[in-house]
Amino acid sequence: MEALAAGSAQGYHRAMNLDFSDSNPELAELYPEHLGVVGARFDAALERVGASHAVVFSGSQRMSFLDDRTYPFRPNPHFLSFAPLTRHPLSYIVYTPGETPVLLYYQPHDYWHAAPTEPGGYWGSHFDIRIVHEVDEIARHLPAERHKCVLLGEIEDPSHAFDIERTNPESLLNILHFSRGRKTGYELACLRLASRRAVLGHRAAEERFRAGDSEFDIHRAYCAATRLTGSELPYDNIIALNHNGATLHYTNLELSPPGVLRSFLIDAGAQVHGYAADITRTYSYEDPQFAALIARMDALQLEIVRHVSAGMDYRQLHLSTHRLLAQLLVDVELASGNVDTLIATGVTTAFFPHGLGHLLGLQVHDVGGHMENDSGARIDPPSGHPFLRLTRMLEEDMVLTVEPGLYVIDMLLRRLRGSDGESHVNWKRVEELRPYGGIRIEDNVRVLHGGSENLTRDAFAELH
């Protein structure tokens, strides 16, 4: 199966012109402008904190507790904003306004593990690259006046700070995090590639679901199609058959298929040069009634996407989703009553407890979603909706997810018992839906003036 999936994926990669390499000509053309934008953001941030240099640490590998192996490495996203080095612990970028950034590229002499290859690609000529083979060599390449430096990154070992005392100053991070909401042309190109890569996996996963595979084998097919290992995925795949779809972050992966196949919810992504896709689809195996409910949720999701536009308050989109969901619950006889009543009594929240979406970029849940400005002022989620991760006014070239859901989550539905919402729920229909778990439809969307670009739907359209 893996060989077939991998071979099919290679064909799709060619058909969709997917080039994830460091020689991608489109990325090479867009990268210089991107680096200029990143530099301008750091210029403003350094001026605010009165520093002359930013030393950006890629991160270090963490050892497993009471063991001699490491956890999978996750690089500092601020390091990735400069260069697409996703597998490079113990490297540093030294940024000084007006100067070529210095890359301290750690390339250890190591016969136990594969050492990083020679640096290069579309980004390499934009750095003063200095290869170091020992961590102790790094110190002599850092600015001599450490008090004029700020250090960005997670420091587990104090020696990795090299006597730089100012680490992750909040006022500096506020500028960087707020500005990351808007993506450069280079970042948008990476995000489109990530969506196309993820869609290859989604296509393979649906095929294996239709063939009757287990959650574990569907996951394997997904990894083969995207040509990513589990640790290279931006987050743990959610591969949920039947009632498991009611667990929002289900990652258990049962080894055997269920006796009766009913439904499949897949929330799975991919990444390209550190930029992530985050896509969810739900499928019915052979039940036309459940398939019709999925189609209704798909139409609801597209209706919300149609309202995505620069100047829109994302909080309002979230609240509008609850109004649309309330009407859908009535239409499919899962609930009764008017829209306002179903919202006020908590019925819609029981069926749809999470937020509508979040910013997307170098992190799956990209930073800055609650920021009002670059000074750190916060915009809280609406009352009663604490899990909404994006509360900002939408701006052009933001990329975000739109992911409404409808689930049978027993713990939440039990809370309606004895409340004003109990009489509005059609409990017989809930029982009928319970074995199917739930439905979530999630697209990755770029904000434009007067509309949006749907990276996910475009990627699916390219594949078919």
Q: What pLDDT is stored for residue 135 in this prediction?
A: 96
In terms of Cα–Cα distance, which of 441, 80, 141 is closest to 275? 80
Q: What pLDDT is stored for residue 18 in this prediction?
A: 85
The CA distance from 301 to 324, in Å, is 9
- What is the DSSP annotation of 197-253? HHHHHHHHHHHHHHTT--HHHHHHHHHHHHT--GGGSSS--EEEEGGGGGSTT----
According to DSSP, the β-strands at 149-152 and 53-57 are parallel
Q: What pLDDT is stored for residue 319 in this prediction?
A: 98
Surface-to-core class of residue 131, CB atoms within 10 Å of its CB (0-12 exposed, 13-18 middle, 19+ buried): middle
CB 445 within 8 A of CB 349: no
Cα separations in angstroms, 439 against 202, 234, 242, 407: 16, 22, 10, 6
Options 3.40.50.280, 3.90.230.10, 3.40.50.300, 2.40.30.10; which CATH number does 185-196+231-463 get?
Answer: 3.90.230.10
Cα separations in angstroms, 180 against 77, 80, 165, 175: 10, 12, 25, 9
SS3 387: coil
The CA distance from 188 to 128, in Å, is 26
Q: pLDDT tens track of the chain, all 464 residues? A: 344 444 555 555 555 568 888 889 999 999 999 999 999 999 999 999 999 999 999 999 999 999 999 999 999 999 999 999 999 999 999 999 999 999 999 999 888 888 888 898 999 999 999 999 999 999 999 999 999 999 999 999 999 999 999 999 999 999 999 999 999 999 999 999 999 999 999 999 999 999 999 999 999 999 999 999 999 999 999 999 999 999 999 999 999 999 999 999 999 999 999 999 999 999 999 999 999 999 999 999 999 999 999 999 999 999 999 999 999 999 999 999 999 999 999 999 999 999 999 999 999 999 999 999 999 999 999 999 999 999 999 999 999 999 999 999 999 999 999 999 999 999 999 999 999 999 999 999 999 999 999 999 999 999 87
Cut 0.85: pTM above it = yes
CB 86 within 8 A of CB 273: yes
Q: Where are the domains of the chain?
A: 52-168, 185-196+231-463
The angle at the Cα of 313, spanning 307 to 315, to the nearest 5 degrees, equals 100
* Phi, psi for 303 (deg, rounded to 5): -65, -40
Cα separations in angstroms, 112 against 69, 108, 109, 323: 12, 11, 9, 57
Say if domain 52-168 classifies as CATH 3.30.70.1140: no
Residue 122's identity, in one-letter code, is Y
Q: What pLDDT is stored for residue 17 in this prediction?
A: 62
Q: What pLDDT is stored for residue 433 in this prediction?
A: 98
SS3 187: helix
* Phi, psi for 127 (deg, rounded to 5): -125, 150
Q: What pLDDT is stored for residue 111 in this prediction?
A: 84
The CA distance from 440 to 252, in Å, is 18
CB count within 10 Å of CB 214 equals 18
The angle at the Cα of 149, spanning 147 to 155, to the nearest 5 degrees, equals 105
